[in-house]
Amino acid sequence: MNQERRSKIVKLLNAQGTVSNDELISRFGISIETVRRDLSYLEKQGVLERVYGGAVKKTFLRTEPSYKNREDENAIEKLAIAEVAETFIEPNETVFFDLGTTVLRLAQNLSPDKQITAFTNAIRTAVVLSERGAKVVLSGGEIRPGELSLYGSLAKENISHFNFDKVFVGVAGITKEGLTDFIIDEANIRAEIIKNARQVIVLADHSKFGVRAMCKVCSVKDVDVIITDEKTPKQAIKELKDLGVKVIVAKK
């Protein structure tokens, strides 16, 4: 009985990438003590890694690269993506600029003539937007060191009161199942801004495709446009287009 249940837990992990203690208790009708024993056993077998509240598949991505490393990687591709993204912004619009180094590149390329109202939870991006002539509104919230991003319940609550003409979203990973992120609080905020947007535009270089991070942000059906670069696999682009997402390949 134990092995049959543990086999089912492994199948669930392979399908989802993560499982929570509460989910296993509900699905199998077992106690929290039994869940802990099962997960401990499977961790020793090298199948999963236990985390607070559950477990993640061993090969599942859950560690975020440092900001400096992300800023330096694929700089040419990110610039090309940012130049295309800037053409989507119309004068006097209300625009949310998400976290991420590619979105920061977009802020750096913003024409001062646009005179937009810019919302963001990224402090670096806020400074750049202000220098580019935008009226800037910060989300509030707790500062995340290193990233200099704002997160938490206060940030999410403040964001919930506004509607946006466009949001430019940065993500950790994209698959045909959806957008994912490494940090729970930041995934929750991304979900909130996407919910409040008239048009959702994702900025993602080729390194983000096929990556499935720990936290789900949204389905690809919630996305209007993805702007990427020439190195993104054609099959990945086709899968997204087949799901109704407009994909634009920025050329260097």
**CB-based contacts of 75: which residues, under 8 Å, 6+ apart?**
none
Please report the pLDDT score of residue 69 as a whole number.
Answer: 54
Please report the pLDDT score of residue 13 as a whole number.
Answer: 80
How many residues does the structure list for the chain?
252
Q: What is the pLDDT along the chain (252 residues), one digit of tens a residue?
A: 777 898 888 888 877 777 888 889 999 999 999 999 999 888 877 778 787 678 877 655 445 555 555 555 678 999 999 999 999 999 999 999 999 999 999 999 999 999 999 999 999 999 999 999 999 999 999 998 888 999 889 999 999 999 999 999 999 889 888 999 888 888 999 999 999 999 999 999 988 888 888 789 999 999 999 999 998 988 889 999 999 999 999 998
Please report the pLDDT score of residue 70 as a whole number.
Answer: 54
Please report the pLDDT score of residue 15 as a whole number.
Answer: 76
Q: Give the orientation angle of helix 101-108 with respect to helix 123-131, to 10 degrees.
A: 10
Joined together, the tokens standing for residue 111 give 């024409």
Please report the pLDDT score of residue 101 as a whole number.
Answer: 92
Residue with the two structure tokens 């535009």: 201
* Strands in 99-172 per DSSP E: 117-120, 135-138, 142-144, 149-151, 164-170
Whether pTM exceeds 0.75: no
How big is the chain by its Cα radius of gyration, in Å?
A: 20
C-alpha–C-alpha distance, residues 212 and 172, integer Å: 8
Please report the pLDDT score of residue 96 as a whole number.
Answer: 98
Please report the pLDDT score of residue 48 as a whole number.
Answer: 80
All structural domains of the chain, each given as residue ranges with its CATH number in brackets, are 2-57 (1.10.10.10), 67-250 (3.40.50.1360)
